[in-house]
Amino acid sequence: MSSGRSADCTYQVASSGRAQASPNSMMTLARAIGRSWTFGRLSGSPVDGPTARHFRQIKRLSAALTLASEAAMVTLGGALKRREMLSARLGDALSELYIASATVKRFEDTGRPSADLPLVHHAAETSLHAAESALHDLIANFPNLVMRVLLRVVLMPFGIVCAKPSDELTRAAAATISEPTATRDRLTSGIYVPRDSELGKLDQAFRLITELEPLRQEMRRARVRTAEEAEASGLLSGNEAERMKEALALVRDVSSVDDFAPEELLSRRDPLTRSAA
């Protein structure tokens, strides 16, 4: 993200309550213009490879957030606190940029496992699109017309350029965690999962169903619905049938919801309601 020095020092509120520009203001403006009008190409990246583009967009939007925050402080001053929808959008942009930064940093810290790239790209693109959308909405609702036009020209000359993840990328990201893979293990490492808890049952069901998926496909091709039928027809051995029953029982357990008989629902009604009925 952009230098905290320029973010902290560009504008200061004097004792009179009015904002004053510091010498860093022109640098902040030049940085924002250069990065916005070049689609972030003037933003350097600390790494090469598949995540470099995300680093550049993070720096581009960080510069835009810095300038937009300072413009809000200059034109609104203390009134910014009362315009909660504007300040909320600034917070949304900051939060999404933090998430995008954490995503690419974790990828680098874990040794750049290529299997994680679909998840990295999906998370980064989602956060960058959300951050840019928040800044876009902030500018569109800026109360000062002159500043609104200037910010649009300086920071959003081409509109929102960070697209949402494509359907193809979404499917690829989902596929990486739909099976017990090393990527999924990295994501869930450090999470305590008691075996007898609901989360533990869900994990057991996931692993059993995944392990037995080839057998389930054979059952579907044979149009067999239950493990008992599959065992009777010779499609499953005795041990396979028991494991299938265990897996299906776990699935029913973790997917079941609370249900009540009509009598139970009537007994829970308010006494006044029952008497009126």
Residue-number span of the structural domain to which 243 is assigned: 198-265
Instruction: Read off the pTM.
Output: 0.74
Name the β-bridge partners of 13.
19
Residue 269 in this model has a pLDDT that exceeds 70:
no
Same domain, 13 and 148: yes
The answer to whether position 243 is within a domain reads yes
Burial of 236 (0-12, 13-18, 19+ CB in 10 A): buried
What whole-number percentage of the chain has pLDDT above 90?
42
Q: What is the pLDDT of residue 108?
A: 94
The token pair at 1 is 């993200």
Q: What is the pLDDT of residue 164?
A: 95
The answer to whether position 183 is within a domain reads no
The answer to whether position 86 is within a domain reads yes
Same domain, 131 and 27: yes
The answer to whether position 271 is within a domain reads no
- The tally of domains found in the chain comes to 2
Same domain, 87 and 31: yes
Q: What CATH number should be reported for the domain holding residue 38?
A: 1.20.140.10
Mean pLDDT of 113-141: 96
What whole-number percentage of the chain has pLDDT above 70?
86
Same domain, 86 and 223: no
Higher-pLDDT residue of 256 and 134 is 134
Residue 276 in this model has a pLDDT that exceeds 80:
no
Same domain, 9 and 52: yes
The token pair at 191 is 């999470």
